[in-house]
Amino acid sequence: MSRSKLPRLATSNTEAASLYRPITLVYMAAIMLLMVPVLTLVDTSVARYFETSPLSRDLDSALELSLVFSHGTGVFLVLMSIMLLAPRLRWQVPRLATLALGGGALATITKMFVLRPRPSNLNLEFVGSESAWLWAFDWNLSEIAAFDASTRAFPSGNVVTATALTIGLWILLPRGRVLFATIWVGVLLQRLNTGTHFLSDACGGVAIGLLWAYVCYHPKLMGTLFDRMAPEPRRRRRHEPVAASAEPNAEMPPALSSETLPTKETSTDSDPGEGHVVPMTSGQEESHINERAA
């Protein structure tokens, strides 16, 4: 690879890394939270549409399969698949498990404080848009003894789990992003189609899932704990240049090395017959002629 391409690769890697800054998840969560009161205006209309216009059986069955991202058994199968099919990514399994299970637990805790009925528990024929605004909050947990998560609508626990898990898989396995996003959308549609949640409940679940993913990936929060589980990087073999070109004197015999070769500037007592000019007196010149004659 030429040197001119190296800066381009470095720039592209920097841009790709910036897409997964944890603060981006906070911005997205804030946008989703701001959409909750807006979507409340159309909650009853959307719920009434899914009640009066059911989907086909095939599509309904496909949506049921998408719940693999939103319940414990499905999450367990996903994690086991990663451990068996991608051994190099096993150290990421604890983070994915925390994303999915922790997100579901956070949704359950939120439901303890928010008193909102599910669409299936309301008669949507006589419920107007003003009824969807009947939000009640139990800050003192006075009704905790009668708490039942299956009767509380906000937020959608399945959507929280699916959102957090999808973010983890999106970053971990880029080749499967289209599949993960499709399953995530299927979870949202399934919760609306069955009348289990309002549209604003699903939107709130997305926001909580994004916030929980931020906690699991931020280096100053739980991200540091999971990053320490990463294996040590393998030592790459250094491709050193040829020794003959890098160190020309290393392979040269001692008798022919540059330190022992006589030169015209430094050598004064070498054999004149080797092509070196040595100043001689007249007596030395006569003796040299006699030696060559003999």
Nearest to 164 by CA among 23, 24, 25: 25
Each residue's pLDDT tens digit, 186-216: 999 988 888 888 888 899 999 999 999 999 9
Quick one: CA torsion of 176, 179, 184, 188, rounded to 10 degrees?
170
Nearest to 133 by CA among 30, 48, 39: 39
Name residue 115's beta-bridge partners. Answer: 136
Q: How many CB atoms lie within 10 A of CB 108?
A: 15
Question: Both tokens of residue 83?
Answer: 């451990």
Question: Both tokens of residue 282?
Answer: 């007249």
Side chain identity at residue 53, one-letter code: S
Q: Report the chain's C-alpha Rg in angstroms.
A: 37
3-state secondary structure of 61: helix
Residue 159: pLDDT over 80: yes
- Give the pLDDT band (50/70/90) at residue 17: very low
Each residue's pLDDT tens digit, 241-292: 444 444 444 444 444 444 444 444 444 444 444 444 455 555 555 555 555 5
Higher per-residue pLDDT: 8 or 61: 61
- Residues in Cβ contact with 51 at an 8 Å cutoff, skipping those fewer than 6 apart: 119, 124, 195
Residue with tokens 């926001």: 207
- Give the pLDDT band (50/70/90) at residue 16: very low
For residues 128 and 97, give the distance between their C-alpha atoms in angstroms, rounded to a whole number.
Answer: 40
Report residue 157 CA to chain centroid gap.
23
What is the pTM for the complete model shown? 0.68
3-state secondary structure of 259: coil
Name residue 136's beta-bridge partners. Answer: 115
For residues 244 and 259, give the distance between their C-alpha atoms in angstroms, rounded to a whole number.
Answer: 17
Q: How many CB atoms lie within 10 A of CB 70?
A: 28
For residues 79 and 141, give the distance between their C-alpha atoms in angstroms, rounded to a whole number.
Answer: 35
- Give the pLDDT band (50/70/90) at residue 224: confident
Q: How many CB atoms lie within 10 A of CB 185?
A: 14
Contact 201, 115 (CB under 8 A): no
CA geometry: angle 154, 208, 202, nearest 5 deg: 45
Per-residue pLDDT at 132? 55
The CA-atom distances, in angstroms, between 201 and each of 13, 96, 161, 205, 268 are: 37, 23, 13, 6, 96
